[in-house]
Structure 1
Amino acid sequence: MASRPIVPPQARGDAVVEGGKQQKKNPAAEGRNRRALGDIGNLVNVKGVEVKPNRPITRSFCAQLLANAQAAAAADNNKKQACAKVDAPLPVVDGVVAAKRVAPKPAQKKVTVKPKPEEVIDISSEEEVEKEKSPNKKKEGDANSKKKSRTLTSVLTARSKAACGLTKKPKEQIVDIDAADTENELAAVEYIDEIYKFYKLVEHENRPHDYMDSQPELNERMRAILVDWLIDVHRKFELSLETLYLTTNIIDRFLATKTVPRRELQLVGISAMLMASKYEEIWPPEVNDFVCLSDRAYTHEQILVMEKTILNKLEWTLTVPTTYVFLVRFIKASIPDEKFENMVYFLSELGAMHYATIMYCPSMVAASAVLAARCTLNKNPTWSDTLKLHTGYSEAQLMDCARLLVSFHSTAENGKLKVVYRKYSDPTRGAVALLPPARNLMLEDSAAN
């Protein structure tokens, strides 16, 4: 039986016997003939350049790779860098093909580009990248959902406002009421706002308090008769409105500090008008004129003595912001016509005659007279942003006082004290007293009662 030839094992790289001849293997040729392994996860893409690193990827190494890629891209006029060619055969290390290295470019001038922190790409696994991106996406999604989502309360509120007609309207433009007076030096346009701010601050300092309970011999009816008579005297003398409002202010302030018997009440009124005339008028009436008007109920000496008494009690303080001071400004803010202006003065004089308005400060009485006049003449809107700016009051704040003035208007025709009613029934004053009172304020007043 023929024996089979035994061939000894050959080491890698040793010669191979062919036809009895021993030949050595060529390692280089064998390397070229072998197929390289595919991607085993060590490929890295940096800005379109495929790099096969031969060492572990770190943040610093990634930044270095990115800087090299940017330098190469800037040198090639923003052209994309092609994958590097491998000249040498891949070495085999323990059966694993090593990663390719990027072929060096021809010698070029090196351009050092510092990588921006925000452009540094952290080479990590896809799972880690997704974990880092997912919180930001959640935050952005939550922010967008919060912006877009509307709560049930906001929806119901918007529907309620729409049903009540309270939807957003274009903001009303505030009118510059002093624009026409810029060339008028007497208007003091540069200081007018500061002047009225000061008036609002000091109007409470010289404001009379409720004094009728401290006057045993006087009542509200007597005061109304006195003021009604003084308005008639004021009209006969053709005095200014400043004198009339200062007269009532002096009377109330004096009665709030001193008890006056009934027989001297008219003397107090005469002396107060004499003082106000001297303060406001160019040619004030003389003392003898008031003696004649009172049908010689008081002598010349008595009037002068009462004048001194009042000045001492008031500490000679006559420069006070009266209702008229605010009326002038508030009427101007309402952009009035002649009829509207007469209606405001009619309502304010009715308020001055009645003691019930003493509980309100002068600025509120003036603003309420403007509001009541606008309602009576059906002005639209009844209250504007311009009026709110200059008066300092909203429409709701003035409602109680405005209803009180309208109630005086409704009873003026049938009342016993008709001096104010007759004064403003004259056609020269627009006959505003003959107009019906504001129905909307009357209806609200009756509903409240």
Structure 2
Amino acid sequence: MARSKFLGEHGEVVKQENVPNIDDGSNQLEVAEYVDEIYEYYWITEAQFSSLANYMSIQGDVTSPMRGILINWLIEVHLKFDLMHETLYLMVTLLDRYLSQVPIQKNEMQLVGLAALLLASKYEDFWHPRIKDLISVSAESYTREQMLRMESSILKKLKFRLNIPTPYVFMLRFLKAAQSDKVLEHLAFYLIELSLVEYEALEFRSSLLCASAIYVARLTLQISPTWTPLLMKHARYEVPHMRQMIILYSISSVFCKMILRFHKAARKGQLKVTYEKYAGPDLSGVAMIRPLEKLPA
């Protein structure tokens, strides 16, 4: 895809080779010499994964509203154990990948969710909850043996591939390109986390959901310009206006409209763990920010 130029805030042409580098080569933790290759892998892998849209068609005893209730509860469990953001997004991805391949009974839903949390924390976190503590939060609904069998089942069904590109990895990169402050960072993560419980969001790639969330967040905070050369380069879009960018992927502006709809519904919705979480001062209270009335024409 050609990405040679971009229209700046005042209509001037900005060449991408003049766009500043967002990586700090002196910080070894950023692995700046490898980061482009790492993200190229994420983009390629995301494109290779089959869509999870409509996967509930294989489930006879489980419904999409039940999935939303489960993930809302798992977000609360994740918060209770004070696990990392990476773990949350990998947990939901593992859950959906497994459910898209294996029909389960309704009484197994918490078991699958907790096993996905256990696996995600082992892969991403500094520590993982003890199995007995996970059983405890399920009100002793399962045994240790059941938990271990489900953990093994998920690993085998997913062929031990846990290095899945989640919304988190794209959001990190896009926010860095956005040169965001904490309020923009927290609002963008809030919007993307609201989408985790929404089954319809699975129709879209994680990278595009993240780009849409950042666009809506920048509009909400009245940040100008709403899209920049750095965002264009690292989010891989060719024109500055998100509603036009989406068309390049043959997807309509339903993307941003969906994100905005989730934002508007959060305060009144029944699945409120994310709303309550982001209403606190530690996350800049971004859940209290008034949503946009509508997207610009």
SS of the residue 2:60 aligns to: coil
**CA offsets 1:43-100 (integer angstroms, 9 cap, x no match):** xxxxxxxxxxxxxxxxxxxxxxxxxxxxxxxxxxxxxxxxxxxxxxxxxxxxxxxxxx
* Aligned with 2:30 (options 176, 182, 187): 187
Partner of 1:375 in structure 2?
219
| Deviation (angstroms), 1:250 | 0.5
Task: Describe how 1:39-438 pairs up with structure 2 within 5 A.
Answer: 169-172=11-14, 175-178=19-22, 181-210=24-53, 211-393=55-237, 394=239, 395=242, 396-398=244-246, 399-438=253-292
Contact kept? 1:206, 1:320, Cα under 8 Å: no
Q: Secondary structure at the match of 1:422?
A: helix
Task: Give unmatched runs, 5+ long, in structure 2.
Answer: 1-7, 247-252
Show structure 1 runs of 4+ deviating over 6 A: none
Higher helix share: 2
Aligned length: 276
Q: Where does residue 160 of structure 1 map in the other structure?
A: none
Given that residues 323 and 366 in structure 1 are in contact (C-alpha distance below 8 angstroms), is that contact kept between their aligned partners in structure 2?
yes
| TM-score between both structures, scaled by the size of structure 2 | 0.88
**Deviations along 1:232-279, whole A, 9 cap, x unmatched?**
111111101110010001011101111111111111001100011111
Equivalent residues of 2:187, 2:217 under 8 A apart: yes
Determine the C-alpha separation between the residues in 1 that align with 2:155 and 2:41. 24
User: Given the superposition, is the C-alpha separation of residues 177 and 426 from structure 1 closer, same or farther in structure 2, using an over 3 Å criterion?
Assistant: farther
Structure 1 residue 372 displacement after superposition:
1.2
Instruction: Give, in whole Å, the separation in 2 of the partners of 1:331 and 1:400.
Output: 22
Question: 2-side partners of 1:317 and 1:439: how far apart?
Answer: 41
Give the whole-Å Cα distance in 1 for the aligned partners of 2:157 and 2:122. 18
**Structure 2 CA distance for aligned equivalents of residues 293 and 371 of structure 1:** 37
- How big is each residue's C-alpha offset from its partner over 1:281-302, in whole Å with a ceiling of 9 and x where there is no partner? 1221110010111010111111
Code of the aligned partner of 2:279: S
Identify unmatched segments of 5+ residues in structure 1.
1-165, 445-449
Change (3 A) 1:350 1:420: same
For the residue of structure 2 that corresponds to 1:439, the secondary structure is coil
Distance (Å, rounded) in 2 between the aligned partners of 1:191 and 1:312:
30
Aligned in 2, Cα 1:177/1:192: closer, same or farther, shift over 3 Å? same
> 1 CA distance for matches of 2:83 and 2:171?
17
TM-score by length of 1: 0.59
Is the contact made by 2:22 and 2:177 (CA closer than 8 Å) also made in structure 1? Answer: no
Can you list the C-alpha shifts for 1:177-212, whole angstroms capped at 9, x where unaligned? Answer: 425x12112212222222212211111334552311
**Distance across 1 between alignment mates of 2:233 and 2:62:** 40
Deviation at 1:371, TM superposition (A): 0.8
SS in 1 for 2:70: helix
Displacement, 1:338? 0.6
Separation (CA, whole Å) in 2 of partners of 1:172 and 1:440: 29
- 1:439 and 2:288 aligned: no
